[in-house]
Structure 1
Amino acid sequence: KHTAGRADKARSDLSAVAFGGGYLWLATDEGAKIERLRRIDEQEFGDHRVFDLTRLLKLPVGEADPEIDIEGLAVDDGHLWIAGSHSFTRDKPELGENGQEEALDELADIDRNPNRRILARIPLALLEAVEQAGAPVCAARLRAGRKRSALLDVLRDDRHLAPFMAVPAKENGFDIEGVAVEGERVMLGLRGPVLRGWAIILEIRVKPHGDRLKLGRLGPGGLRYRKHFLDLDGCGIRELCLLDGDLLVLAGPTMDLDGPVRLHRWTPPGGEAAETITGRDGCPVLLELPAGHGCDHAEGAAVLEGPDGPQLLVVYDSPAKDRLFGTRGVQADLMPLPGFG
């Protein structure tokens, strides 16, 4: 429940959620702000606060275009992790008063979006300190600039991903839409590409390096990343959550489509293999979630502790009208997690 500030806009664009330190952390796919809500009781969150990331992160193109397209949040060991989509986008044509010619020009325009290449780690205490002091502080992030980034550079020649790195997000291009973190181990869920029905999770190691983050190596082989392919019935990944050593994988349609939304359970493999592949039996469906047509796009999920065991909180981009209440309120879904507790 949003209760103050800019929540009227934020409630309609939610793209990521995480829970930690007694607070619910939310982000939208517009701008460069983090929303924070305090847990009031089992069913309600309030005391809304907003944190401006342009005061915490040095963005590749500064404040001229501050949109990060935050698609992943995670809380681990007193830090808030933030993942931008890292995606290219194609302009959305508008068949308005300027006619078809301009719409066709817009459809040919592809944006590189350097500010979306953010993978950052912010101490929770720093958020409060910046608000109180009013002075900008740079939080740690992976190297990213106008043309290059530490993550995209190591993927550029990958035999599976290379053809999709410059393809727009909603056209099965490279698009991060979930992050889960445990220590130095970071899992990134990809909405796209989906290869012949197989979704992809990227696993990386991220180490602090002074006031920055850098990619570490996964093992003696010197790998900077490894890929895990999952059979999610043709869906891409919209969110990741860690629970009891397993990953909860929120799967939904790739491209610009409505479609089924399911929660899968997957156990990340050990070992040092560069690539793994898991069939349907290895990532069973735990829950079927609501899927709207033109609305109610499940994009964020977080695990909360309930009276009878862990529960899954799901937030929606473009929520249906019946989810909205008052001028700032929005309903999420809270449901028990089968097989846990």
Structure 2
Amino acid sequence: MAGKKRTSTARQVARERVMLDFHHHDALSEQVTEPLRGNLSVVKQSGSCLWVASDETDTIERLTTDDWRSFGQHTPYRLTDFFDLPVKGEVDVEGLSVDGDYLWICGSHSLKRKKPSLDEHGVEEALERLTKIECEPNRYLLGRIPLVRDGADGVYTLCRSAPSNDGGAELTAGRLKMDPAGANALSKALAKDEHLGRFMAIPSKDNGFDIEGISARGERVFLGMRGPVLRGWAVILELVVAEKGHNAKSTGLKLRKIGPEGERYRKHFLDLDGLGIRELSLEGDDLLILAGPTMDLDGPVVLYRWPDAWNQREETIIPRSRLERVMDIPNGVGTDHAEGATLFARPDQPLSVLVVYDSPAPDRLAPNGRGVAADVFPLPAKRRDDP
């Protein structure tokens, strides 16, 4: 960009592939009409499990491994077994985070504009579809589900409730209260925000409000925004989420007031070269940020490091000079759109990053109609001039 100087160059790194093997979609619920492997939106590791979600289902998928070269033994978990959701249908899960005893789940909180197709619609109908904006209430899910060891070493399962591993209070599934009309406590709190409020009514693919990453530790939660990007600056929301009360199925969660004027959130603005946020992962006190295009297009995907992000206790504006550009993630033309990433820890190997893709290229697809290859990139050492 003219007038801006890059503070670091993304390091090019070698990659390997790990196969993810799902059940055939015909063996899943009637809601799943296409192979899961083509619509992966997020991935997170716990032990020898990968937790994966598609943005077109109402389930979380567990894959496990015996050899660390492939993950299979697919187990789907329906979110309606843990939460009362406003309506039937997809949740558009765009964020997962593993924090000790809990798996956190976040929907996109976004609106969507109908997609025209000249192969299916005439010009007049296509133009009409572009005027239609839909609100799907399940997208406003922000909650957590207890993670419990499932016998085998490193394998976990999801439970509605479970004893605490440290002898504390019982672990229970919980979420923010959801409005059947399409809202929750977070979206209501943001409706009058001076930066974000006006974007709440804009669809996600139009630079509207769109969550695509979550990283949680204790009660603190970071949410990454694919959009809006404001004059090239991406947004991270910080929340403190506490328990509120119980019902028959789950625990209510609430947002504490943490903002400078009593808001139930803090805002952090980051210069990511004009990209939006696609995924977040805490590594120690640093926050790793997968960034990519906000709009529905091919474009660069970059992994950044925000050093010492965990120790921020005020709203911030983070210039490029305070970020490390860790690596570029290869992207295709019309294929291989990086959607999810997780820190990937394997026995006796250095820490790496595993990436899953939407619209995977044909060479990633297994002949069995179920499997798809994810990429694994070594995580470069932290830059020495970072704190």
**TM-score normalised to structure 2 length:** 0.81
For residues 212-234 of structure 1, the C-alpha deviation after alignment (integer angstroms, 9 at most, x for no partner) is 11102337964411111111000
For residues 78-106 of structure 1, the C-alpha deviation after alignment (integer angstroms, 9 at most, x for no partner) is 11111000000100012145411111111
Conserved 8 A contact 1:143-1:149:
yes
How far residue 266 of structure 1 moved from its aligned partner, in angstroms, is: 0.3
Aligned mates of 1:253, 1:74 — CA distance in 2: 22
Q: Which residue of 2 aligns with 1:291?
A: 331
Aligned mates of 1:40, 1:208 — CA distance in 2: 36
Aligned mates of 1:98, 1:227 — CA distance in 2: 42
Q: Which residue of 2 aligns with 1:191?
A: 226
For residues 91-137 of structure 1, the C-alpha deviation after alignment (integer angstroms, 9 at most, x for no partner) is 0012145411111111100001111000010112495557xxxxxxx
Give 1:178's match in structure 2, choosing from 213, 216, 222.
213
Q: Percent identity?
A: 52
Aligned mates of 1:269, 1:74 — CA distance in 2: 15
Aligned pair count reads 330
Q: 2:200 is aligned with what amino acid?
A: M
Unaligned runs of 5+ in 1: 131-137
Q: Which residue of 2 aligns with 1:53?
A: 79
Q: 2:354 is aligned with what amino acid?
A: L
Unaligned runs of 5+ in 2: 1-19, 29-33, 149-155, 161-171, 246-250
- Relative distance call for 1:290 and 1:156 in structure 2 (3 A) is same
Q: Larger relative contact order (C-alpha < 8 A, sep ≥ 6)?
A: 2
How far residue 55 of structure 1 moved from its aligned partner, in angstroms, is: 2.3
How far residue 308 of structure 1 moved from its aligned partner, in angstroms, is: 3.7
How far residue 39 of structure 1 moved from its aligned partner, in angstroms, is: 2.2
Conserved 8 A contact 2:279-2:291:
yes
Aligned mates of 1:337, 1:129 — CA distance in 2: 32
- Relative distance call for 1:252 and 1:153 in structure 2 (3 A) is same
1:69 to 2:69 alignment = no
Q: 1:139 is aligned with what amino acid?
A: A
Q: 2:23 is aligned with what amino acid?
A: A
How far residue 76 of structure 1 moved from its aligned partner, in angstroms, is: 0.7
Q: Which residue of 2 aligns with 1:38?
A: 64
Aligned mates of 1:128, 1:271 — CA distance in 2: 31
Q: Which residue of 1 aligns with 2:174?
A: 140
Conserved 8 A contact 2:259-2:265:
no
Summarize the alignment of residues 215-230 of structure 1 with structure 2, pairs less than 5 Å apart: 215-218=255-258, 222-230=262-270
Give 2:196's match in structure 1, choosing from 161, 166, 187.
161
For residues 244-289 of structure 1, the C-alpha deviation after alignment (integer angstroms, 9 at most, x for no partner) is 211100000111111000000003164543x311111111110110
Q: Which residue of 1 aligns with 2:298?
A: 258
Aligned mates of 1:223, 1:172 — CA distance in 2: 23
How far residue 199 of structure 1 moved from its aligned partner, in angstroms, is: 0.4
Aligned mates of 2:264, 2:110 — CA distance in 1: 20
- Relative distance call for 1:200 and 1:219 in structure 2 (3 A) is closer
- Relative distance call for 1:271 and 1:222 in structure 2 (3 A) is farther
Q: 1:335 is aligned with what amino acid?
A: F
For residues 171-201 of structure 1, the C-alpha deviation after alignment (integer angstroms, 9 at most, x for no partner) is 0000000000111110000000000100000
Q: Which residue of 2 aligns with 1:236?
A: 276
- Relative distance call for 1:208 and 1:102 in structure 2 (3 A) is same
Aligned mates of 1:290, 1:263 — CA distance in 2: 11
Aligned mates of 2:174, 2:257 — CA distance in 1: 19
Conserved 8 A contact 1:39-1:45:
yes
Q: 2:268 is aligned with what amino acid?
A: H
Summarize the alignment of residues 21-36 of structure 1 with structure 2, pairs less than 5 Å apart: 21-36=47-62
Q: 1:318 is aligned with what amino acid?
A: S
How far residue 42 of structure 1 moved from its aligned partner, in angstroms, is: 2.6
How far residue 339 of structure 1 moved from its aligned partner, in angstroms, is: 1.2
Aligned mates of 1:248, 1:207 — CA distance in 2: 24
Structure 2 counterpart SS, 1:167: coil
Summarize the alignment of residues 199-214 of structure 1 with structure 2, pairs less than 5 Å apart: 199-210=234-245, 211-214=251-254
Give 1:320's match in structure 2, choosing from 337, 352, 361.
361
